[in-house]
Chain A
Amino acid sequence: MSEIVTTTHPTDPLLRAERLPHIWCPGCGIGSVTACYMSALAESGLPLDQCVVVSGIGCTGRVAGYVNLDSFHTTHGRAIAFATGVKLANPRLQVTVFSGDGDLFAIGGNHFLHAVRRNTDLLVVCVNNFNYAMTGGQAGPTTPRHSFTTTTPRGATDQPFNLQHLAAALGVVYSARWTALHLRQLKTSFSQALQLHGFRFVEVLSPCPVGFGKANDLGEGIEEMEFYRAQGVVDRRISPAEALIEMSKSTPLPLGVFVDPERQGNGQAGPAKGADGVVGR
């Protein structure tokens, strides 16, 4: 291990260098997604002192601990509700929620629904790795059917959430799905979302070799990345409803921007609600 790069990386000032190395496993995608978000943020022209990241609990919940911004690592499931308070108390802040599929859509699912209903001015980033990774690989709300986890030893039986369909049906302003391999497209989505107002959603599929990949023969992180490359399909004709993830080599993995101001995923006209559908602002 003598080939450690010692020059400064462009995103170094955007991260809390003194906290590195991070806790994420080799092959995990959360670090790449974090760096990608921070580089989009740096290029956005938004004043970084006014940018806030709020996380819940779990592997992605640790993102707040590494970004060099005002950042909050809150309780399990409550990141969106906490962020709602931050945003309403100081509307000048750009508030992004970073959390995982279990945090945002199981224990915290109700807050997602209602923050979209209020069209709260938040960007919510969900790193979807199909399992509860920090506790050792249990089934979560996006675990594909028939997948093996420590709590689905015979294969998952429940229908997983299609997060793009959910977000579109609720009426978000913007919704996209990429993988931790599609960092260029992901950065573009972050940039687009950062310029919009109202409730914006970005889902990033991430390898979790330890918690999910190994049990489901997806191999190491690099092999899961290869799976994303082979199966990933960007096709604007695929509707959010059709964007279910099956994680099988015989089905496509629908990616792309599913909702934006030009393309309302729920078939309705553009966002009618003002940002912060809240009395007093």
Chain B
Amino acid sequence: MRKMLIWLPLVLFLGFFGLFASGLLKPDDRLITSKMVGKPLPDFTLPPAASDRPALASSQLATGKPRLLNIFASWCVPCAAEAPQLMALQKAGVEIDAIAIRDARTDVDRFLGRYGNPYARIGLDARSAVQIALGSSGVPETFVIDGEGRIAYQHIGDIRADDVPMILDRLRNAQ
């Protein structure tokens, strides 16, 4: 027993070494997922963010049909990159509402004029209050909202072309 004990420090060292090495080699995961997925949307009422689209309130999102809620901003570069994918989703018959974060109406108008406007309604969240209430940690993010107004899925980052079928799948599953 005593003789075995002498190996204990080495075993401990190897154990910690393995632990740290695996931590270092594991790819960095900095995505903060919302814990609101599966829960009903928080209540909010936002003023309109664009001059040719109506404002947005949480009550308008429970329509009996799954829809997308896109969190974007005119000052965000990846948001411009995902615009063609949102246009494609809208053409496929998906209803998309949006919340513009820390934005101004003239900037949103210019952004939509340049990259297209796939949105039915756009609310302006000037102080990120609704973004925080949603548990969203940045732009762009896209939430799948089911027919009863519950958050079914959260997509973090821009929607790439190869994400589109997956988003359509999520919408179908949220039915």
Report whether chain A binds chain B. no
Q: Which B residues are within 8 Å of any A CB, using their own CB?
A: none
